[in-house]
Amino acid sequence: MLAQFKRLGADSLLYAFMNVGTKLIAFIMLPIYTNFLSTTKYGYLEIIDKWTAMLTFLIIFGTDSALSYYYFETKDKEKRLQHVRNVMYFRLAIVGLLALAVITAGPQISAMLFKGDSAHVDLLYISIATLLVDTVTIVVLMVMRFDFKTKKVVVYTVAKMLLMAVFSYLFLKYMMQSAAGILWGRFAGFGLIFLLMLTTSWKYLKPKIDMTMMKEMLKYAAPLVPASLAFWVIANLSVFILQAFQPMSEVGIYGAATRLAMIITLLTSGVQMAWRPYSMNIKDKPSSPLLFSKIYMALLLLGIFGIMAIASAMPWVIRILGEEYYEAYKYVALVSAAVFLNFYYLIISSGLFFTKKTSFISLAFGIIAVVNIVLNIALIPTYSIWGAVASYVISYMLAVVFIFRKSQKEYYVPVSFGKMAFLFTVMLAAVIGIIYAQENGLGWAYQGLAWLAVAAAIVISRVDKDLRKKTVDVVAS
């Protein structure tokens, strides 16, 4: 058992390195992209990225979770191999259908995505070609992960991001200063990794499909699709509504803000990867609910201070993107708050995972996706980017409320939801205050007041008592 724990710890550390490494590469490349591209050109890239994200959900179709289940359910190597081939060819078939649609109706799709402009069909062609080569790579990396070939997964994944970054820079620098330059760079980087992995991929590409096993797998996978689409709606739909009502430059500014907001994940990604196995391992211990309550509160404080720091530093950090993107600074901290909640719901929903009631998460996000659509349509035409930001934050706040209340019914953790909500709300108000002070040139003293307000809220809430609470105190209460 000790050996298994050591493997888990070592693998978690490697995956955390991979996760942080890929995010750092993306963060480093962002100012390179924005210094080559105007806000309008970056807006085109943002639209294509959201379109590609939607297609990726359709291609995956829940088969990642299904393959994980069936791969470990059987010890038969041939059955495992057949399951992988089934997933591979199912995904390639979807890519093929999407490619056919783009080839036959590319100008019409371009016009639909870009306000009647059919001249950007080349971006669709490149994105589909990239999806084709990356689909094979992703399946092979997934199988490597199942086989605990962690080092190979990390090396190939980081190498893929590095190659994409290098080729994108070369295309932008020497060939084309447009969204197409970045997309061609991605295709070149992903394509090279595809070729390097071809000897490993070849056995999975043998055209042999078992329809009975395929149907069984899709029956498992299909119910997972609505939840995936709901996540896509909440994270991405606002971009399409924004470009329908506002200039493409606004899409570029919002896209840059959302990319920069991902910096908060540098604080949370390691915890996110380690949390599920850690929490599942100790959930039945008598002291675990109290420990979870302290973790909930500690992570909330980490997020609060991280978001506040982003708000305070962003007017200086944003300058790396170029003068044209300066306006984006005021949106980053609040988008970071939504990104943090996207992480935080995974932590406070532990009760649903412990009791296998995760279907409620799909239901909750399905409802929230509808709310998000309504909010975007209602707010973006009038408030532009602020409407998109508000919709994003409100949606995840509602999701956390619904999921936490249900999780508490299944597995009670002695933590005050009212206190957590109070602290998060004070933080949001403080961030808005910081942005207001920055916009109106009120100076550091006013921003300091916002920090003092958050500190006062923490003191008044007696968070220190929650973090020092002992098991006997919980029993007594």
Write down the pLDDT at residue 2.
Answer: 45
DSSP labels, 432-465: HHHHHHHHTT--HHHHHHHHHHHHHHHHHTTHHH
Write down the pLDDT at residue 273.
Answer: 66
Q: Which two tokens stand for residue 295?
A: 């973790």
Within a domain: 177? yes
Domain end, chosen from 151, 178, 209, is at 209
Contacts of 90 (CB under 8 A, 6+ apart): 61, 63, 214, 218
DSSP labels, 332-363: HHHHHHHHHHHHHHHHHTHHHHHTT-THHHHH
pLDDT mean across residues, the chain: 88
Number of domains within the chain: 2
C-beta of residue 467 within 8 angstroms of C-beta of residue 298: yes
Could you list the residue range(s) of the whole structural domain that residue 326 is in? 224-476
Confidence of residue 6 (pLDDT cuts 50, 70, 90): low
Write down the pLDDT at residue 149.
Answer: 84
Contacts of 277 (CB under 8 A, 6+ apart): 8, 12
Domain end, chosen from 209, 238, 264, is at 209
Write down the pLDDT at residue 473.
Answer: 46
Closest to 123 measured CA to CA, from 46, 200, 65: 46
The answer to whether the Cα torsion of 55, 58, 62, 64 is positive or negative is negative
> What CA–CA distances, in Å, run from 192 to 53, 163, 165, 201, 317?
21, 8, 13, 13, 33
Confidence of residue 7 (pLDDT cuts 50, 70, 90): low
364 and 325, same structural domain? yes
Model pLDDT for residues 34-48, shown as the tens digit of each residue: 999 999 999 999 999
DSSP helix/strand/coil, 420: helix
261 and 175, same structural domain? no
C-beta of residue 299 within 8 angstroms of C-beta of residue 347: yes
Distance CA 153, CA 161 (A): 12
Contacts of 184 (CB under 8 A, 6+ apart): 126, 167, 168, 171, 175, 176
260 and 138, same structural domain? no
Within a domain: 23? yes
Contacts of 422 (CB under 8 A, 6+ apart): 457, 461
302 or 20, which is more confident: 302
Q: Over 70: is that where the pLDDT of 11 sits?
A: no
Within a domain: 11? yes
204 and 131, same structural domain? yes
Write down the pLDDT at residue 471.
Answer: 54
DSSP helix/strand/coil, 355: coil
244 and 189, same structural domain? no
Contacts of 429 (CB under 8 A, 6+ apart): 453
Within a domain: 305? yes
187 and 251, same structural domain? no
87 and 167, same structural domain? yes
Q: Over 70: is that where the pLDDT of 200 sits?
A: yes
Q: Which two tokens stand for residue 465?
A: 């008592």
304 and 417, same structural domain? yes
R_g of the chain computed on alpha carbons:
23
265 and 203, same structural domain? no
Q: Over 50: is that where the pLDDT of 361 sits?
A: yes
Q: Which two tokens stand for residue 172?
A: 């932008």
Q: What is the mean pLDDT of residues 61-66?
A: 82
Model pLDDT for residues 142-156, shown as the tens digit of each residue: 898 888 788 888 899
Write down the pLDDT at residue 9.
Answer: 55
Within a domain: 443? yes
52 and 100, same structural domain? yes
Within a domain: 214? no
Domain end, chosen from 181, 209, 237, is at 209
Distance CA 59, CA 98 (A): 9
151 or 187, which is more confident: 187
Helix and strand totals (H; E) in the chain: 21, 0
174 and 283, same structural domain? no
Within a domain: 219? no
285 and 163, same structural domain? no
Contacts of 283 (CB under 8 A, 6+ apart): 350, 354, 411
Q: Which two tokens stand for residue 110?
A: 């371009």
> What CA–CA distances, in Å, run from 50 to 15, 235, 241?
25, 9, 12
Within a domain: 439? yes
Q: Over 60: is that where the pLDDT of 474 sits?
A: no
Closest to 141 measured CA to CA, from 161, 121, 122: 161
